[in-house]
Amino acid sequence: RVTFDIGMKNPTDRGDVTISERTQDGWTLQKDPQVAVCTNDNVKGPDGRPQPVAIKAVGATGFTVPNLGQGSHVSCVVVNSRVTANPEGIIKVVKVDEDGHTKLSGSQFVLRKGTTAGPDWSGDPLEFTTGDSGQTWTSGKLKEGIYYIVETQSPRGHSLLPQPVGLKLTKSGSDSLTASLLNPKDAAMVRLDMKDNVATLIVSNVRSGGTLPHTGGNGVMWYLLVSMALIGGGLGAGSHMRHRRKV
């Protein structure tokens, strides 16, 4: 609260008073709907209460109380609002064998921004930094949004991820992010851990012609059933065409 008295050399003069605030770190003057609520305690309304005084914002940290005269006693309640931060997070990828624990090297990943509809394939991808002798991939700092992890190379004898894995980073509070998989079925291949704004994706690999990963349970069958359905449909169409030629 700010309270001040107005004194004029000439009692009939009137003037404007501008007040500037030195805000603390992490706070700023509220701009909407107004920066402060002021009343002239010497001017009473029909209800006996001080009358409100119109004010206007000046610059980033100030406001003006206009047209005050001799003896005006003004009280202002200044409204501050907390500065909204833009937290940043990191995406980390770890590739493991189908046992869900043994780290693998030999993969290559890139990161692309996107929407719920899919990755944005235009422009250059965001690069990962490789660590732990090629067994982990770490992004730079990322703001909230949707990102896709794309595997461009798999270890020898293993298969690539069947499709890009979408991850959504969402602001939670002023300085933290949460992470979630866009497609719940990706949990069959990927385990997601979030701690201290670092989203770690543990990707279980599949050996070419080998066993299923242990990361997410039976959900991986969804990928295989789709593939089998497509292959079966192709074989059925081919057989039908051969029978038509024999007629």
In a domain, 239, yes or no: no
Asked, for residue 245, whether it belongs to a domain, the answer is: no
pTM score, two decimals? 0.55
Residues 95 and 213 in one domain: yes
User: What pLDDT sits at residue 208?
Assistant: 60
Domain boundaries, position 69: 2-82
Domain final residue, candidates 82, 108, 130: 82
pLDDT at 221: 38
pLDDT digit string, tens, across residues 101-143 = 888 888 899 999 999 999 999 989 998 998 888 889 999 999 9
- For 53, residues 6+ apart whose C-beta sits below 8 A from its C-beta are 38, 39, 40, 65, 68, 74
**At 222, is the secondary structure helix, strand, or coil?**
helix
| pLDDT at residue 214, rounded to an integer | 40
| Per-residue CA distances from 87 to 81, 146, 170, 217 (Å) | 18, 15, 9, 33
17 and 43 housed in the same domain: yes
User: How many angstroms separate the CA atoms of 200 and 217, rounded?
Assistant: 19
Q: Do 41 and 120 have their domain in common?
A: no
Q: What is the pLDDT of residue 21?
A: 75
The pLDDT of residue 158 is 82
Give residue 135's pLDDT. 86
pLDDT of residue 245: 42
Same domain, yes or no: 213 and 99: yes
Tally of CB atoms within 10 A around 156: 8
Give mean pLDDT in consecutive 10-residue pieces for the chain, a chain of 247 residues: 63 80 71 73 81 77 79 79 80 88 89 96 92 90 96 86 94 87 92 95 72 40 41 46 43
**Domains of the chain: total:** 2
Residues 191, 103 within the same domain: yes
Provide the CATH number for the domain around residue 153: 2.60.40.10
Q: Are strands 73-78 and 2-5 parallel, antiparallel or unpaired?
A: antiparallel
